[in-house]
């Protein structure tokens, strides 16, 4: 399931084709993804210029010249494929998350931009992803973003903010950090990795962190995200013209999906256990 770093990698991969481009044609092959597509979806996009491609949490946001923003969420299995014919910089077809079965191509967008004509296809076998259109000036008040916590990589996000957001919460650390109102963009993988990096047990009550532990956790969250974005960027650079995969696959985790392997810090075996129905990976020895 794509988390902040994977969505950011997709954003960086798509941006050269989309930013400044004109939308020539849009085809939605079904009326809904996880939710129904907004009324007049193709018509509202066609002819618009894409002025910027941003990200908030796990959402991509394409700001349009029409005053609306196209909001895109990859859900669990969403991916974009770009076919850019005849461009000098990146010839050929390439994918942003491995091979895609065309039966699950749900939305196609043809654009003309600095790199020439490109065909961008949204493919999503499980259809937990979605797209929406909202007025750009009211974006932060839209249902998608109104309750969302701070961006972990913003300068404004501080250890004190993290501590304040966790204060009084009785939930275990793992559940609290998955809550998008505490901090945006984290999912199962990077919560496990950040807690390991900070030496904090996923079972510890979230509301009773010392200032020093909150500072360690804050630094760990940023470090694991930045390293994963860096790994995603490398895979993007190596990727043009190949049929490889982006994101998770080239990135090595310290504890996530490493049950029984030695903890990279203390050598004790990494444990797997279930919290709120999902697997947690942690070191039982050096995470307190
Ligand atoms: Zn350990």
What pLDDT was estimated at residue 251? 66
Collect all residues with Cβ–Cβ distance below 8 Å to 241 and sequence separation of at least 6. 90, 91, 92, 94
Confidence of residue 236 (pLDDT cuts 50, 70, 90): low
Q: Ligand 1 centroid to 196 CA: how many Å?
A: 8
CA of 288 from ligand 1 middle (Å) equals: 10
Name beta bridge partners: 111: 23, 118
Distance of CA 76 from the midpoint of ligand 1 (Å)? 30
Instruction: Give the pLDDT of residue 82.
Output: 81
CA of 192 from ligand 1 middle (Å) equals 13
Coil, strand or helix: which one is 112?
strand
Q: Average pLDDT of 213-221?
A: 98
Measured torsion, CA atoms of residues 119, 125, 128, 129, in degrees rounded to the nearest 10: -10
Burial of 219 (0-12, 13-18, 19+ CB in 10 A): middle
Percent of residues, the chain, with pLDDT higher than 70: 88
In terms of phi and psi (left: phi > 0; alpha: psi -120 to 50; beta: otherwise), the region of 137 is alpha
Give the tens place of pLDDT for each residue, 43-81.
999 999 999 999 999 999 999 999 999 999 999 888 888
Element (H, E) at 270: strand 270-275
Q: What average pLDDT does this structure show over 218-236? A: 88
* pLDDT at position 224: 96
Per-residue pLDDT at 235: 65
Confidence of residue 18 (pLDDT cuts 50, 70, 90): very high
- When pLDDT is averaged across residues 223-247 and rounded to a whole number, the result is 67
pTM: 0.91
Tell me how far apart the alpha carbons of residues 44 and 58 are, in angstroms, rounded to a whole number: 23
Residue predicted with more confidence, 234 or 102? 102
Query: Higher confidence at residue 152 or residue 124?
Result: 152
Mean pLDDT of the chain: 89
Q: Is the dihedral of CA 133, 128, 11, 19 positive or negative?
A: negative
Where does the pLDDT of residue 243 fall: very low under 50, low under 70, confident under 90, or very high at 90 and above? Answer: very low
Å from CA of 72 to ligand 1 middle: 38
Task: Work out the pLDDT band at 184, boundaries 50, 70, 90.
Answer: very high
Taking the centre of ligand 1 as the mean of its atom positions, its distance from the CA of residue 197, in whole angstroms, is 10
pLDDT at residue number 95: 43
Q: Residue 68: in which H helix or E strand, if any?
A: strand 68-73
Cα(162)–Cα(218) distance, integer angstroms: 7
Tell me how long the chain is: 288
CA atoms of 170 and 208, how far apart (whole Å) = 9
C-alpha atoms less than 13 angstroms from C-alpha of 146 in its C-beta half-sphere:
5
Distance 248 CA to ligand 1 centre (A): 22
Which pLDDT score is estimated for 132? 97
Q: What pLDDT shows up at residue 2?
A: 87
Task: State percent of the chain over pLDDT 90.
Answer: 72
Sequence-distant (≥ 6) Cβ neighbours of residue 55 within 8 angstroms: 4, 7, 8, 11, 61
* Paired strand residues for 280: 273
Q: For 113-147, how does the pLDDT look when each residue is reduced to its tens digit (9 = 90+)?
A: 988 888 888 988 899 999 999 999 999 999 999 99
- Tell me how far the alpha carbon of residue 258 lies from the centroid of ligand 1, in angstroms: 12
Among all residues, which ones are annotated catalytic?
2-3, 58, 278
pLDDT of residue 99: 57
Closest CA to 256 of 193, 195, 201, 177: 193
Which of 4-13, 22-31, 237-246 shows the lowest per-residue confidence on average (mean pLDDT)?
237-246
Q: Quick one: pLDDT at residue 84? A: 66
């Amino acid at each position: 399931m794509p988390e902040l770093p994977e969505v950011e990698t997709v954003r960086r991969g798509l941006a050269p084709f989309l930013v400044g481009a004109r939308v020539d044609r849009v085809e939605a092959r079904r009326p809904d993804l996880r939710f129904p597509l907004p009324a007049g979806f193709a018509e509202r996009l066609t002819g618009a210029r894409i002025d910027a491609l941003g990200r908030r949490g796990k959402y991509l946001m394409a700001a349009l010249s029409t005053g609306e923003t196209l909001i895109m969420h990859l859900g669990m299995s969403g991916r974009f494929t770009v076919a850019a014919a005849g461009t000098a910089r990146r010839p050929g077809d390439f994918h942003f998350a491995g091979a895609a079965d065309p039966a699950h191509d749900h939305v196609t967008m043809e654009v003309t931009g600095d790199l020439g004509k490109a065909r961008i296809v949204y493919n999503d076998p499980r259809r937990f992803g979605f797209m929406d259109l909202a007025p750009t000036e009211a974006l932060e008040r839209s249902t998608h973003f109104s309750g969302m916590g701070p961006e972990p990589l913003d300068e404004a996000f501080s250890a004190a903010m993290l501590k304040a957001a966790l204060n009084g919460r009785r939930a275990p650390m793992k559940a609290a950090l998955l809550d998008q109102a505490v901090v945006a963009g984290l999912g199962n993988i990077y919560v496990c990795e950040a807690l390991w990096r900070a030496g904090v047990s996923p079972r510890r009550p979230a509301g009773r962190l010392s200032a020093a532990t909150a500072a360690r956790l804050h630094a760990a969250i940023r470090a694991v995200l930045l390293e994963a974005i860096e790994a995603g960027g490398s895979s993007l650079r190596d990727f043009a013209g190949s049929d490889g995969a982006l994101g998770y696959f080239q990135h090595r985790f310290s504890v996530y999906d490493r049950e029984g392997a030695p903890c990279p810090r203390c050598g004790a075996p990494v444990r797997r256990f279930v919290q709120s129905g999902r697997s947690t990976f942690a070191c039982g020895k050096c995470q307190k």
